Structure 1
């Protein structure tokens, strides 16, 4: 199964955009992106510990979009193996974020395209994600990419 580690460098206006795996060095900037997404700051030391677990798990892809070397967006992709039907995996997409400073440059599209390319390389049946009910702009973005509201999602906070 072929997987892509680094996205093709693409020129968008006057900016160079790359899609590549998040590294330890990116975690401070990633924490800033997540704060923008969720409204709360995370623990950088805890992020470092959890990052090591994610990096060691071949089912995870934690990708960053860099604009001229600066982390502008991120996406988490998780391959989930399935025992239903022909036992093909599906991909769960989480924590899709593009900094407000970099929106409308096609970065979100590039992140989602990269995730879908990885999913296809593993012959996933689908990609799926959950988005908060209040994120209507994000919903329009996902719908423009061909995502549909297919099921009612449920979540229980622990």
Structure 2
């Protein structure tokens, strides 16, 4: 994803979060993400060039236990509401999983807001389990 897609990506983010994304800050952050090899940010466009899905994640994290293999964080998987159930989200997750395997990651973890029941079913259908860990989050 590149700066020309900035406004298209902001629209997707707005759909996921329900609030307006700060374009100036988003451009700064996207520039950092794109230049960092430990991050993956990909998008999917329809035949008209409209961004219909993306995943920001594929954040490779070091681990210090066991075999000290890295793990990957999947974050901000977004598919436009009118484009869901077309396999876009599944393809984005599969891409992240492929990247994790190539980086020899031990696992992928993600968080999903408790109210997003449809998303939970989607992740479980892809083999992710809500029964292996409990997630905590503190907003600062």
Does residue 41 of structure 2 align to residue 62 of structure 1? yes
Query: Within 5 Å, which residues of 2 pair with 1:2-151?
Result: 22-68=1-47, 69-76=49-56, 77-149=58-130, 150-151=132-133
Which of the two has greater helix per residue?
2
Q: If the length of structure 1 is used for normalisation, what is the TM-score?
A: 0.84
Deviation at 1:79, TM superposition (A): 0.6
Gaps of 5+ in 2: none
Number of residue pairs the alignment of both structures matches: 137
Matched residue SS, 1:58: coil
Question: Matched residues in 2 for 1:122 and 1:58: separation?
Answer: 11
Structure with bigger RCO (C-alpha 8 Å, 6+ apart): 1
Cα deviations by residue, 1:76-107 (Å, 9 ceiling, x for unpaired): 12011112111111000000110012111100
- The 10-residue stretch of structure 1 (72-81 or 111-120) with the greater mean CA deviation from structure 2: 72-81
C-alpha distance in 2 between matches for 1:55 and 1:128 = 21
Q: CA deviation at 1:45?
A: 1.1
Give unpaired runs (5+ residues) of structure 1: 1-21
Aligned twin of 2:139 = 157
CA distance in 2, matches of 1:67, 1:108: 13
Residues in 2 aligned to 1:115 and 1:37: alpha-carbon distance in whole angstroms: 19
CA distance in 2, matches of 1:98, 1:113: 14
| Residues 60-79 of structure 1, C-alpha deviations (whole Å, 9 max, x = no match) | 00111112232111101201
State the superposition RMSD in angstroms: 0.9
Q: TM-score, normalised by structure 2?
A: 0.94
The separation in 2 between residues aligned to 1:156 and 1:104, in whole angstroms, is 31
